[in-house]
Amino acid sequence: MKERVLKTIREYKLIEKNDNILVGVSGGPDSMCLLHVLVEIQDVIPFNIFVAHVNHGVRGKDADEDEEFVRLTCEKMNIPFYSEKVDMNGYARKHKMSSEEAGRKLRYDFFNEVLFEIGGGKIAVAHNKNDQAETLIMRIIRGTGIDGLKGMKFLNGNIIRPLLNVTRKEIEEYISKNNIEVRIDKTNLEPKYLRNRIRLEIIPYIEREYNPNFLDGLSRLSRTANLDCNFLDKYSSNIYKKIVKTESKNSIILNRNDFLKEHKSIKQRIIKLCLMKVADDINGITEKNISDIMVLFDKGDTGKSIDLSNGLIAKTSYGEIIIQKRENKEFRSFSYKMRENGVNYVPECKCYFEMKAVPIEKVKLNFKNMYIKSFDYDKIYGELIIRNRISGDKFKPYGMNGTKKLKDYFIDEKIPKNLRESIPIIADEKNILWIVGYRTNEEYKITSNTKKVLVIKCIKK
């Protein structure tokens, strides 16, 4: 067992020298096997072991005895021990999720709290080859795509699974051979849970009647799906970087024409990527949601939108496709006085503004950069401010003779409504100088009579 697990650790680079490894231990055969094997492997790879145990509060006295058992085991083995008692069923009801989902969320939240306390590291969990098979079968029964066939990874962020190549039978043999005391969770034997029925009935039946190597076959399927999905995800991510126009924690805007050029498979992955970037939680997003978004984006009717779960909206606007959080309140107005020869930060648009006045002969005019603009200093009236738009705003766009309402300018430039309130505007006490990122005012342009220039630079955070 030691050599088998050590091979997996080296192949997937699960543990490095001097790592902190926090082992999730329930007291059952799987986690006790993992704990003892990792202690053996410390002779080969020097690293630090810590143990965390979560009492889910659902099995009364048995759960309390499990916690005490793990605590005493760690005391005997001289391993630091951390535990927490939670109300799994109460959390599940409150957050409208299954008990299994709630238990997982609470466990990993606690594990990460402990990791922070010990100075970082990795979380080792005892999922094995049988667990992998059970997970895949559950997903197939409920309905899944190729991503669902990936199963669990040996290394997923800071989570490692050193036993994923080991069967439950091999674990039981290791426990028996080494006389390791374990706790048995009787709920794992109750057929009322789907996972238990898969473990106790479906897998043994398939192995007995059809294929004794069924677990190995599912393991190969998972590895193949992982390989293909990793390629598709990487390819889709590269395409996303090429077609994204703006990205923030609240919204993503893509170029629709570039998006439509891609294969349907890639478009679906790009949509999922956008949802993951913007949403706090995508558990409520269904395949039907993805399909509806695809139809919306393919049609491209400006102003059309779809309300998704978890406070998200997908919509189209002037050749752009947008996924964003639903706005609960209007954008707050802002206005700041600008400091000359200094740096001004505007939190509402997450931008820094540098402003300095220089003689004309020291200025290199750059008309192409939309975030560095120069103005005739002597034409500026009073103090400068940075603000967002206000009702009745108008200006004389650079290169034009007449004035234009700012509202009409935004419409002509096809700027989405949800972005208009957040666009910073530089103005003096009479007029607008600059719609930042867009047009300047003709009345403040540099001419042959200009002697002093005000240079303003916008830097996005």
Q: Which residues contact 71 (CB under 8 A, 6 or more apart)?
A: 53, 81, 83
- Tell me: is residue 29 an annotated ligand-binding position: yes
Q: What is the pLDDT of residue 53?
A: 95
Q: What is the pLDDT of residue 443?
A: 94
pLDDT digits (tens, 9 = 90+) for 428-460: 999 999 999 899 999 999 999 999 999 999 987
CATH number reported for the structural domain that contains residue 373 in this entry: 3.50.40.10
The mean per-residue pLDDT over the stretch 369-382 comes to 91
pLDDT digits (tens, 9 = 90+) for 249-298: 788 999 989 999 999 999 999 999 998 888 866 666 778 888 888 888 88
Do 131 and 253 sit in the same domain of this protein?
no
Do 53 and 202 sit in the same domain of this protein?
yes
pLDDT digits (tens, 9 = 90+) for 55-100: 987 787 888 999 999 999 999 999 999 999 988 888 888 877 888 8
Do 341 and 261 sit in the same domain of this protein?
no
CA distance 402 to 442: 10
Q: Quick one: CA torsion of 133, 136, 138, 139, rounded to 10 degrees?
A: 180
Which strands make up the sheet holding 342-346, listed edge to edge?
A: 342-346, 351-359, 452-460, 372-376
CA distance 208 to 204: 6
Q: Is residue 126 part of a domain?
A: yes
Do 391 and 288 sit in the same domain of this protein?
no
Do 68 and 14 sit in the same domain of this protein?
yes
Do 217 and 255 sit in the same domain of this protein?
no
Q: What is the pLDDT of residue 367?
A: 67
Q: Is residue 229 part of a domain?
A: no
Q: Is residue 230 part of a domain?
A: no
- Tell me: is residue 26 an annotated ligand-binding position: yes
Do 87 and 210 sit in the same domain of this protein?
yes
Report how many domains make up the chain. Answer: 3
Indicate the helix (H) or strand (E) that contains 458. Answer: strand 452-460
Q: What is the pLDDT of residue 301?
A: 73
* Residue after which a domain boundary falls, among 303, 325, 347: 325
pLDDT of 382 strictly over 80: yes
Indicate the helix (H) or strand (E) that contains 307. Answer: strand 305-307
pLDDT digits (tens, 9 = 90+) for 22-57: 999 999 999 999 999 999 999 999 999 999 999 987
The mean per-residue pLDDT over the stretch 239-256 comes to 89
- Tell me: is residue 43 an annotated ligand-binding position: no
Residue with tokens 């082992």: 23
Closest Cα partner for 150 from 254, 45, 220, 78?
220
Indicate the helix (H) or strand (E) that contains 291. Answer: helix 287-299
Averaged pLDDT of the chain:
89
Q: Pick left, alpha or beta for residue 303 (phi over 0 → left; psi -120 to 50 → alpha; otherwise beta).
A: left
CA distance 1 to 9: 12
Indicate the helix (H) or strand (E) that contains 32. Answer: helix 29-41
The mean per-residue pLDDT over the stretch 191-200 comes to 85
- Tell me: is residue 31 an annotated ligand-binding position: yes
Do 385 and 306 sit in the same domain of this protein?
no
Query: What value, to the nearest 5°, has the Cα angle with vertex 175 and ends 170 and 181?
Result: 155
pLDDT digits (tens, 9 = 90+) for 118-135: 999 999 999 999 999 999
CA distance 59 to 42: 34
- Tell me: is residue 265 an annotated ligand-binding position: no
Q: Is residue 243 part of a domain?
A: no
pLDDT of 333 strictly over 90: no
**Residue 310's pLDDT band (boundaries 50, 70, 90)?**
low
Q: Is residue 234 part of a domain?
A: no
- Tell me: is residue 30 an annotated ligand-binding position: yes
Which strands make up the sheet holding 48-55, listed edge to edge?
A: 81-85, 48-55, 20-24, 122-124, 159-160, 155-156
pTM equals: 0.65
Instruction: Give whole-number Cα distances, 440 to 283, 337, 360, 399, 447, in Å.
Output: 45, 19, 18, 9, 14
Do 413 and 450 sit in the same domain of this protein?
yes
Residue ranges making up the domain that contains 178:
2-223
Closest Cα partner for 329 from 308, 311, 304?
311
Do 350 and 305 sit in the same domain of this protein?
no
User: What are the tokens at 392?
Assistant: 């009745």
CATH number reported for the structural domain that contains residue 295 in this entry: 3.30.465.60
